[in-house]
Structure 1
C-alpha cells in the first residue's frame, strides 16, 4: 500500500497525519509513504524526524479581506496543483490523506483530478477553509467531533473518526511521565501549557497566582512557558520579592508531552483540537483558555464542546486573570467528586481507536482503487 500524506502549518495538522502513518505501518508493515508539505510550515522540522520521505510546495493561504495577495495565492495554488500532480504520478499512491493547512488544497485537489482516492481529516469543531473547499471532491471526510458531520453538506461520505493523535497519546505511560519530571509516582500534577511557543495571557495569569500555590502544597504544578516566554518567566520569578514555591516546576518545553500528560490530574491549556484529543484520550479534566486569535474563533467552539459534556471549565481570555484561574484550579483540585466526574466525562469524549478507524477506511479505499485499476469493478 502506498500513501501520500499532506498537512501543514501547525502541529495540529502535522501530528494527526503522522499518527495515521504510525497506525498504517502497524496494520500494514509494507506501507510506503510520501509526505508533501509547505515550504514555510512546522512540517519542515517535524516530518523529517519521522524518516518519511518529504517534499514541499510553495503555497500560501487566502486573506479573508480583498487583497492583491490573493491573486498571487491563486497562481501559487495552480502551480501547486501542477507540482503535486507530478509528485503523485511519480509516487503512484493508492490513497492520499489530507489533515488540514493550505498545502492540502493543491495536493488533494490534484489527487482528485488524477482519480486517486482521497480522505481529509478535520480536527476542529468548525472546519477550516481548505477542508470546506476540498470536501466536495474527496472520497471521505473524517471529523474529530461527533455531531459536526453536517458541516460538510456537499461531501459524498462523512464519518466520525475522532482525532488520530488520541491513539498515539493513549499508549503513553504515566510512570514514565513521573520519571521524566523527577517526581515520585502518584504525585498530584497540574500541567499548565500554552503550546510550543507559549501563550502570553496564560503566562501572565500563572505569574499572578504563583504566590497562592502554597495553599496546595501537596500538588505539583508543571508550568510550561513556551520557548518564547521562558527567559521572561524565569527572570520574573528570580526577581520577585518572594521565594518561588517549592511545588512549582518551570520548563520552556516538554519533548515527551504524552507521558507527562498521562501523569497529570488536571490540565490548563489552550483549546487546540489535537491537544484536546490527547487530553480526552487519557480522561483528564481540563481548564481551557481558548485562543481568540484563530479563524472563526474555533478554539472556543472546541472548548465549549468539552464544557457542555462536563469535561472542562472554560475561561475566555478576556475574563482571565490570576484569581479566576486559581479559583478554577482550586474548584477541581479541592472537590474529588467533581474531578472524578470531569475525568469520566473527558474519557467518554476520548476516542483512542481513532487512528485504527481511519486506517481501516484508508485500506478500504485502497482496495477499491486497486480493484478499479485491475478492471475488477
Structure 2
C-alpha cells in the first residue's frame, strides 16, 4: 500500500439501514483507489460481524449504545461504559491515523466522529432521512461535509451539504431496463428489522388469498420469525420462499413484479432505482414519522401505494394487493417513470471523502 494512500475510518452499524449503505461506499472507495486503507468501527452486532468481514473489510468493535429511549438502568449502563468506549476510540484514532472519518448516522457514529473532529480529522456524515436524528443533528454543526438523500431535506439547506441520494448497488439500474409483465404473479416482501412482526402476521393471514390468486412470494424476515412463518405458510399450504437475509438484491428485485416493503431511505432509493411498483408500509414508530414522509415521495411519483398500520391493517393490505392484481390498475402504476435519480451516490460520497483527505494532507 502506498504511504500516501488515504486511510478511511467508517463509523456505521447498529442496523442494516446504516451498515449496508456504508458497505456500498466502502466498495466504491476500493474501486476508485485500491490502495486505500478502510477500517470499520461498529458496535459489534451480529450483522456487523457477518457482513463486514464477508465484504473483505476489517472491523473494530466498541461498546456503543443508543441514548434515545433508554430507561434509568440503560442510562446508568451507558454512563458506566462511556469512559472505556472513549478510551478505545481514542486508541483506534491514534493507531489507525485516519485521513478522514465517514459517519453513516445513528448512535454508532456519534462518539467516533466527535472525537475525530477534536483531533482535527475531517469528517463526512451522511443523513438518510428528511429530518436528522439526534446524532446527526449535533454532528452537522461540526462535520466537514454532509451528504443528504432528498432534495429539500432539513440538512440540505446547509452550505456544506450535498444532495447525493442514498448509496445503493450501482447495478440496480439494470433491473429498470428489463420488461415488466402485464400482471402480478411474484411478490417480494422485505420485512426489515423494525416492527416486522406486524408484516409477518398480515402476510400469514393473507396466505390463502395469495394462494387462490396464484401468487408466488419471497418473504425476507428476521431470524426469530422464520420458524413461525414456515409453520404458518405450511398450514395454509402456501409455497412461500423465506429467507433471513437476501444476499443478491438485484436478482430478487429482477424476479418480482411487486415489492412490499417498509419505507426506510434504503428501500425507497432501491425501489426508485429499479422502477417497479411498490406497496409501502411505513414503520409507525419511526422518528418524526420519517418513513411516512419517505413513502409519500414515491407515492407522489405515482410509483407506490401506501398502507399504514392500525385498525384493519390486514384488510387494507389485501385491498391494495387486490387493486394491483387488476391488469389496468397495475399497468397504470407500472408505466409511470421514477425520477431519474443517479445510483452513483456511493461513488460521489467516496470521492468526496478522498477530496477531504487530500485537502487535509495538503495543509500539513
Question: Would you call these one fold, judging by a TM-score over 0.5?
Answer: yes
Deviation for aligned residue 1:123: 1.6
Partner of 1:49: 54
Partner of 2:224: 228
Aligned to 1:238, which of 234, 241, 245?
Answer: 234
8 Å CA contact retained: 1:4, 1:34:
yes
Distance 1:281 1:140, change over 3 A: same
8 Å CA contact retained: 1:283, 1:343:
no
Q: Quick one: distance in 2 between partners of 1:200 and 1:144?
A: 28
Determine whether 1:353 maps to 2:344.
yes
Q: CA RMSD in A?
A: 2.9
Deviation for aligned residue 1:166: 4.4
Kindly tell me the number of residue pairs found equivalent between the two proteins: 355
Deviation for aligned residue 1:19: 0.4
Q: Quick one: distance in 2 between partners of 1:82 and 1:113?
A: 14
Aligned to 1:7, which of 12, 16, 22?
Answer: 12
Partner of 1:123: 128
Determine whether 1:209 maps to 2:206.
yes
Determine whether 1:34 maps to 2:39.
yes
Q: Quick one: distance in 2 between partners of 1:324 and 1:64?
A: 31
Aligned to 1:22, which of 23, 27, 30?
Answer: 27
Determine whether 1:316 maps to 2:308.
yes
Distance 1:144 1:77, change over 3 A: farther
SS at match of 1:146: coil
Counting only pairs closer than 5 Å after superposition, residues 34-183 of structure 1 correspond to structure 2 as 34-40=39-45, 42-64=47-69, 67=72, 69-70=74-75, 72-74=77-79, 76-77=81-82, 79-148=84-153, 150-151=154-155, 157-167=160-170, 169-170=172-173
Q: Which runs of 5+ in 2 are unaligned?
A: 1-5
Partner of 1:301: 293
SS at match of 2:131: coil
Deviations 1:145-203 (A, max 9, x none): 2210x3466x551111111124364467999xxxxxxxxxx994211221268822112
Q: 126-135 vs 305-314, which deviates more? A: 305-314
SS at match of 2:107: coil
Deviation for aligned residue 1:38: 1.2
Counting only pairs closer than 5 Å after superposition, residues 268-307 of structure 1 correspond to structure 2 as 268-307=260-299
Deviations 1:87-118 (A, max 9, x none): 12221222110112212111111111111111
Q: Quick one: distance in 2 between partners of 1:78 and 1:174?
A: 52
Q: Quick one: distance in 2 between partners of 1:353 and 1:114?
A: 31
SS at match of 1:317: coil
Q: Quick one: distance in 2 between partners of 1:187 and 1:307?
A: 19
Distance 1:343 1:275, change over 3 A: farther
8 Å CA contact retained: 1:190, 1:268:
yes
Q: Quick one: distance in 1 between partners of 2:291 and 2:176?
A: 28
TM-score, normalising length: structure 2:
0.86
